[in-house]
Amino acid sequence: MERTLVLAKPDAVARGLVGEIVSRLERKGLKLVAMKMVWMDKEMAERHYQVHKGKDFFEGLVEYITSLPIVAMVWEGPSAVSSVRAVMGATDPAKASPGTIRGDLALDISNNLVHGSDSVDSAEKEIALFFKPFEIYDWKRPGEEFIRGK
């Protein structure tokens, strides 16, 4: 079973869309195993976006992600990384399909509501940045076999 990190970014929090994001991921069949509100400081933001360090948009990313609280979540399921990315839609909302979070709710690539890990390796690193192991719950959902198969 894969796990992946999802962040409801400052614009999602400001617009009251955290519940909508959670709802869409739950309806997909993914299981929420950790969640908390965090106000990232500059150091944490720079670690989270380290792969973009040196790019012209890096400082803007850091400034944006530290502007308001975010909601950090860990989701679990088969192919969780790719499933979350499909529900989120393309990074650029103008290219995101209708029915996706970004396709339906976002207008600008800079304020695209959500972040999702892009690989299992990235997910492990990103989850560790936001959560201690004891903050992630291993629990069984009643009827789970009807969502995930046997």
> Which listed residue (3, 31, 48, 115) is catalytic?
115
Annotated active-site residue 115? The verdict is: yes
**Chain-centroid distance, C-alpha 66:** 16
The long-range contacts involving 29-32, CB below 8 angstroms and separated by at least 24 positions, are 29/77, 29/83, 29/147, 29/148, 30/75, 30/76, 30/77, 30/80, 30/83, 30/84, 31/75, 31/76, 31/77, 31/139, 31/141, 31/144, 32/73, 32/74, 32/75, 32/76
d(CA 116, CA 98): 18
Residues forming a β-bridge with 141: none
Active-site residue list: 115
